Amino acid sequence: MSYYIIIRGPLGSGKSSVAAELSRMLKAELISIDAVLEANGLEDDIEEGYISQRSFIRANELMAQGAEALMDSGTPVIFDGNFYWRSQLEDLIRRLRHEGYVFTLKAGLDVCISRDWERKSPHGAVATKAVYSKSTSFEYGVGIDANGELAEVVASILTFIHGRNQKP
């Protein structure tokens, strides 16, 4: 039986880079929450200044069935997203019947802002601060120090997974 990994954290914490590297190393399918939202026109429903919980729940509905089929065939699945609504995170976990891991990347606000500015299309300091505040408002899963280099962050996650089940 296969498994899933959820990589969550603030904008600029390195989620996409970590998820992509894990996907490559584990031969896993990578699902970007942002890409699902964009592809399905779910970005415009706003709640409290953020993309709505309703939009994220709809994205979960769209992702879960395909992710389950991949895992049924033995392919691990990695989800990459801020998961700043606890309801979204818990809804996705409820929809997935396979074993899974949730990792929260933890990086300082200054690191997140700096990394955002290195993007081709930065979101900006205001957006980074807002998402940072919302996504760090609750703890979930295993906290991973993401202030360092990509290889260190990935190694921390793999060490945790290997130590737990010897699967990957």
Q: In this structure, what DSSP letter does residue 73 have?
A: T
Q: Find where tokens 């990589």 sit.
A: 7
Separation CA 155–CA 130 (nearest Å)? 29
**Amino acid in the structure at residue 107:** A
Per domain, the residue ranges of the chain are 3-165
Joined together, the tokens standing for residue 160 give 């945790």
In CATH terms, the superfamily for domain 3-165 is P-loop containing nucleotide triphosphate hydrolases (3.40.50.300)
pLDDT per position as a tens digit, 11-39: 999 999 999 999 999 999 999 999 999 99
pLDDT per position as a tens digit, 92-145: 999 999 999 999 999 999 999 999 999 999 999 999 999 999 999 999 999 999
pLDDT per position as a tens digit, 46-81: 999 999 999 999 999 999 999 999 999 999 999 999
> Would you say 43 and 37 are in contact if contact means Cβ atoms under 8 Å apart?
yes
